[in-house]
A and B are shown apart, each in its own frame.
Chain A
Amino acid sequence: MPDLASIGSFLGDPLSDPLVRRAAIEVALIGITGGALGCWIVHYGLPYAAESVAHCMLPGLVLASLASAPLILGGAGGLLAGVAAIGLASRAPGIGRDTAVAVAVTTLFGLGALLALSAETPPNLQGILFGDVLAVSSGDLALAAALVAVTIAGLVLLHPRLLAVGFDAHGARAIGVGAGAVEAALLVLLAAAVLVAVQGLGNLLAVASLVGPAAVARMLALRMAPMMALAAALAIASGLVGLYASYHLELAAGASIAGATVLICVSALAASPLLAGARKRPNPLPTIAAS
């Protein structure tokens, strides 16, 4: 039976290290955007887009790392290249959007791998791929906080329109809300959220923070706002659990956070029939049941 002092040191020791303190803040920032935005990503059927956006960034991230520039800037450049490549590929006749996205994303990811494995390998290739939340600087944090503020402000502003379009795109058009504009705005916010997440979780794990907590919150909450709050709380909790696991068990931080996310989400899903039964929720997940 651990006493209070050892619990205190279990929780407190890591935070005496400024690296871990910054990592904890980064994880909280990732959780806020990942959870809140992730609910819309899940309801709009965009997890694949989120995954693609993250992978598109690889060449930009590698170049930024080689040039010792902030990763977020490299990621932003990579995103622009990704959007342009997807736009170009979808112009090709008879390809279709999903295929175009797949072509553009694998091309860019391959290009990133080529750059990364050529003569000059960036010093933190592992961090780019799998995240290095312990390496974030105060400047990185400030940039991430700014992106989080923009994303949350955007979500608040767009909330009624996101609801209207997600609920019924035809009806929304008749109300004067263009589905195209709202979805484009959502993709811009998604890009911002992925930029924040890539810094801590890496190119390959960033999407975990967007999809996992939101998928669970969707099962448990009946309205959008509480769903977003719950997803953010789950994402932050997963991040902190992962961070502690990484500190005490000496595991890679990004992978621990992604692993904790999956673990917390699976346990919540396993418990959800009990919760749903207790609340007599009539439509647990009709879309999944139907597909």
Chain B
Amino acid sequence: MSGAETLVQSTGLVAGYGGAPALEDLTFEARAGERVAILGPNGGGKTSLFRVLAGELAPADGDVMVQGRCGWVPQTERSRLDFPVSALDVALMGSLATLPWWRPPGRAERRRAREALGEVAMAELADATFGTLSGGQRQRVLIARALVQEAGVLLLDEPFSGLDSRASDRLLALIDELAVVGRTILVATHDLDQARAWDLVLCLNRRQVAFGHPSETLTREVLEATYGGAIVEIPGEGGGLGVLPPHHHDHDHTHDA
């Protein structure tokens, strides 16, 4: 992938909400086609980084560059499951990125939204109410929204939380497919095995702890600095290191299938 175009670049990025920075010293880059795992404890700055990349939070210092559009695939919290929209409505929202403010989405946009739902294997459920879909299906609809948005960079915020293993495998395969066609995919996750399988890993704990290829980056020292010592040796075949489940203290994760 060394010849591919750099789609995300951050140099000395500092970001926060007025008080102490939520995130410091961020210097990394990712090219088209790369899958980047973003590891870190809750409150470690993963969401702040996404907010900066999405243009929602201005950097306090440093530079950040995103080539083209950034699609945000949030966790599918319970709170908006009662919103009266279909899967197609949600995918169609992505078209607002390319339309002037006075133009509603038309036939061409609808066709594109249906296509995108097809790309994430959700075409048959296009007219289902979003809130009635399973967690994995909702994730894929939100990815379709980012595809309609023509986003070159996708930000996936803990997309595997609450998914069963079949839904996780499906999502993993979809991430691979999207990367192959040249998107950069940043995935906030707690899963080290997934991180090992991808191209790059960025470890955050209110600052950048490490960045690089997983095989070189995911050392015991780095993980301890990232998670603050909550590392355990996993005994038995294969062995390896594991991260103790983080304490869910500062924001709610929903664990629905």
Taking CB atoms, residues of chain A closer than 8 Å to B78 are: 286, 290
Residues of B whose CB lies within 8 Å of any CB of A are 51, 54-56, 69-74, 78-86, 89-90, 92-94, 96-97, 101-102, 104-105, 129-132, 142, 145, 149, 151, 155
Taking CB atoms, residues of chain A closer than 8 Å to B56 are: 170, 173-174
**Is there an interface contact between B71 and A174, defined as CB atoms closer than 8 Å?**
yes
Taking CB atoms, residues of chain A closer than 8 Å to B81 are: 283, 286
**Is there an interface contact between B86 and A171, defined as CB atoms closer than 8 Å?**
no
User: Given contacts A170-B72, A286-B131, are A164 and B84 in contact (CB under 8 A)?
Assistant: no
**Is there an interface contact between B85 and A170, defined as CB atoms closer than 8 Å?**
no
Taking CB atoms, residues of chain B closer than 8 Å to A286 are: 78, 81-82, 131
**Is there an interface contact between A175 and B97, defined as CB atoms closer than 8 Å?**
yes
**Chain A residue, CB-CB nearest to B130:** A167
Residues of A whose CB lies within 8 Å of any CB of B are 43, 156-157, 159-161, 163-164, 166-168, 170-177, 218, 221-224, 227, 282-283, 285-287, 290
Q: Return 22 A-B CB contacts under 8 Å, by A number.
A: A43-B84, A156-B104, A157-B102, A159-B104, A160-B104, A166-B83, A167-B80, A170-B72, A171-B72, A172-B93, A174-B55, A174-B155, A218-B84, A221-B84, A222-B84, A223-B86, A227-B84, A282-B131, A283-B81, A283-B129, A283-B131, A290-B78
Taking CB atoms, residues of chain A closer than 8 Å to B84 are: 43, 218, 221-224, 227
Q: How far is the CB of B105 from chain A (nearest CB, A)?
A: 6
Q: How far is the CB of A54 from chain B (nearest CB, A)?
A: 26
| Interchain CA distance A164-B73 in the complex, whole Å | 13
> Which among B101, B149, B155 has the greatest number of chain A C-beta atoms within 10 A?
B101
**Is there an interface contact between B96 and A168, defined as CB atoms closer than 8 Å?**
no
**Chain B residue, CB-CB nearest to A181:** B101
> Which among A156, A164, A287 has the greatest number of chain B C-beta atoms within 10 A?
A164
